[in-house]
Amino acid sequence: MSKQKAVVIYSGGMDSFTLLNRVIHDGYDVYALTFNYGQKHVKEVEVASKVCQQLNVPHKILDISPINQLMQSSSLVGNIDVPEGHYQADNMKSTMVPNRNMILLSLAIGYAVDIEASRVYYGAHSGDHVIYPDCRPEFVHAMNDVAKIANYEPISIETPYLNSTKGEILKDGLSMNLTYEHTWTCYNGREKACGKCGACVERLEAFAENGATDPVAYE
């Protein structure tokens, strides 16, 4: 009996790296899909490619960077400095990329239909709920309803970490003996991670919570 196919939206970050390995671990035939949407931290695309080569996972990198012309209000793609601080802080709202996950999910659903996969996975988690509406349960459930009727073949959107913290996601990864040197979380795409943006702060907290050391180099 052949394995069920699943598409995993794989950014190259810590959460999606754990998710990719979780879906493989759960026995699916995984197809990874990475998007270059003009993000400053495009370095995450490079590490995603390296990991997929190591895991021998079919991997498509889709360049949709022209859409960043429509999203200059976001500090992740526009000429705005990436804010420092925790995700709970109001200033972190500038890292919201307008409608990003609806766009990425739509493309991933199309890819899933094309290769006859039944599921699309993405790494929404509870730490993102405060500032990212497109990571909240109500968005996921609504998109799931749409994905079931948008094509002849119903596609299921799966978010196994929807109600998990970043620390809990890392705990799951460590339980699978994953190492995180080939992941990139920092919103600034410099040589080393800044350690100060919301993504870095939350990542470092997750490692501390699990009594583990982050293998990524920080400024």
Distances (CA, A) of 124 to 10, 18, 24, 55: 12, 12, 18, 22
Q: Residue 58 has what DSSP assignment?
A: -
User: For the chain, how many structural domains are there in total?
Assistant: 1
Q: Does some domain include residue 219? A: no
CATH number of the domain at 71, please. 3.40.50.620
Q: pLDDT tens across 111-154, in order?
A: 999 999 999 999 988 866 566 787 889 999 999 999 999 999 99
Crossing angle of helices 166-175 and 198-209, rounded to 10°: 50
> If DSSP codes are grouped into helix, strand and coil, which group holds residue 21?
helix
Q: Does some domain include residue 112? A: yes
The pLDDT of residue 145 is 97
Query: Contact 213/203 with Cβ under 8 angstroms?
Result: no
The pLDDT of residue 49 is 96
Q: Does some domain include residue 217? A: no
The pLDDT of residue 105 is 96
Q: What DSSP line would sit under 102-131, residue for residue? A: HHHHHHHHHHHHHHT--EEE----GGGTTT
Tell me how far apart the alpha carbons of residues 166 and 182 are, in angstroms, rounded to a whole number.
17
Q: Report the share of the chain in percent with pLDDT over 70.
A: 82
Query: Contact 35/64 with Cβ under 8 angstroms?
Result: yes
Q: Does some domain include residue 216? A: no
The sign of the CA dihedral 173, 83, 62, 108 is: positive
Position with higher pLDDT, 61 vs 99: 61
Percent of the chain that is helix, strand, coil (3-state, to 5): 45, 15, 45
Position with higher pLDDT, 170 vs 45: 170
Tell me how far apart the alpha carbons of residues 163 and 148 are, in angstroms, rounded to a whole number.
22
Q: What is the pTM of this model?
A: 0.89
Q: Does some domain include residue 163? A: yes
Query: Contact 120/157 with Cβ under 8 angstroms?
Result: yes
Q: Of 79, 29, 39, 76, nearest to 61 (Cα)?
A: 39
Q: Does some domain include residue 215? A: no
Q: Does some domain include residue 134? A: yes
Q: Of 89, 107, 105, 125, nearest to 16 (Cα)?
A: 125
Structural domain span for residue 178: 5-209
> 59-63 and 119-121 as β-strands: parallel, antiparallel, unpaired?
unpaired
Q: Does some domain include residue 181? A: yes
Q: pLDDT tens across 162-218, in order?
A: 999 999 999 999 999 999 999 999 888 788 999 988 889 999 999 999 999 999 999
Query: Contact 44/12 with Cβ under 8 angstroms?
Result: yes
